[in-house]
Amino acid sequence: MRITVVEGDITSQDVDAVVNAANRGMRGGSGVDGAIHAAGAPEVLEDCRRRFPHGLATGDAGWTTAGRMAARWVIHVVGPNRHAGETDRSLLTSCYRRALEVADELGARSVAFPLVSAGVYGWSREESVDAALEVFRSADTADTGVDEARFVAFGRSAHELVRSRVESPGGPG
């Protein structure tokens, strides 16, 4: 699997699937979640209501249509909220692992990822990138059908941080 890094808006990525850093209720929110629901239009929310009437557990993932975005699917992951006491790193790595598993179920070859739980959920960008790289570079994901895992960093400083960690020879994973 090739790991790439781009600076930009995850909602405009021309990939098979975009990953949404969702909340447990799966009804939209702020940050990446709000942007994806806005760009996908009502179709994303309607599909969330239909597929996930009770939401999802922290660390889990599921998919919906991408609505009006260029991608075909949205893979929703519920990241851990450090501020709410969810400090178990395995919940964060589970988001990336489950996203790849769902991508495989869908047959998605290219997947755009945000920095899950970085931001309002209190995990640092470094922790989020390192958790993703641990999963992307592990032997467990050697059999994935995903050809490209694309980090989409919003803003220059985030892009530089992600790029430097991905390119670091001694980095995680």
pLDDT of 168: 85
pLDDT of 143: 87
pTM: 0.94
Q: Which pLDDT score, from 0 to 100, does residue 29 have?
A: 83
How do strand 17-22 and strand 110-113 relate by DSSP bridges?
Answer: parallel
User: From the first residue on, what is the mean pLDDT of each consecutive set of 10 residues in the chain (173 residues)?
Assistant: 96 97 89 92 95 96 97 98 97 97 98 95 96 89 90 95 88 53
pLDDT at position 74: 98
For domain 2-167, give its CATH number from 3.40.220.10, 3.30.70.920, 3.40.50.280, 3.40.640.10.
Answer: 3.40.220.10
In this prediction, residue 172 carries a pLDDT of: 55
Strands (E), the chain: 2-7, 17-22, 61-65, 73-78, 110-113, 148-153
Residue 10: predicted pLDDT: 97
Domain spans of the chain? 2-167
Phi and psi of 5, rounded to 5°? -135, 130
Q: Which of 14, 16, 33, 47 is catalytic?
A: 33
Q: Can you name the residues that pair with 21 across neighbouring β-strands?
A: 77
Residues 6+ apart with CB under 8 A from 130: 165, 171, 172
Distance CA 16, CA 71 (A): 5
33 catalytic? Reply is yes
- C-alpha distances in angstroms, 128 versus 17, 49, 98, 123, 133? 19, 28, 15, 7, 9
